[in-house]
Amino acid sequence: MLLPKTKAIKSRKHLEFVVSFRCVLRGLSPCFGDVQAHHLLKPYYGHRGVGMRASDNNTVPLCFKHHADLHKHGNEDNYWQSMNLGKEFGRTTAKKLWELFQEEQNGK
């Protein structure tokens, strides 16, 4: 099935905004390392292909440990559920962060 083309969103400012937050899994298990912007494997906006990362608006803040754990786990939705979160957690969080970022940008 072919998916409709969506324009990739690239925003260094948004990535900096995302990493200004604490790891979204802080408190659920110990964090380690700096916060990184994790590009969702299953984005809420657009799609990703083989060897492609999701648009920058599809990111959540994860510490190095949780970011590595998620990629080792492989299935993002199952990873969120293993942390006692809903499978939509990543998409919902990324969307809220993008909306908050847009509000800040429009308010300046």
The pLDDT tens digits of the residues spanning 23-70 come to 999 999 999 999 999 999 876 655 555 455 678 899 999 999 999 999
Q: How far apart are CA 56 and CA 43, in angstroms?
A: 10
For 68-107, the pLDDT digits (tens) are 999 999 899 999 999 999 999 999 999 999 999 999 998 8
Q: Nearest-CA neighbor of 25 among 72, 73, 74, 93?
A: 93
User: Percent of the chain having pLDDT more than 70?
Assistant: 83
Q: How confident is the model at residue 3 (pLDDT cuts 50, 70, 90)?
A: very low
Distance in angstroms (rounded) separating the CA atoms of residues 108 and 102: 10
Question: What 3-state class would DSSP assign to 59?
Answer: strand
Q: What is the mean pLDDT of the chain?
A: 87
Taking residue 30's Cβ as centre, other Cβ atoms within 10 Å add up to 10
| pLDDT above 80 (res 20) | yes
Question: pTM (2 decimals)?
Answer: 0.84
- Residue 46: the pLDDT is 54
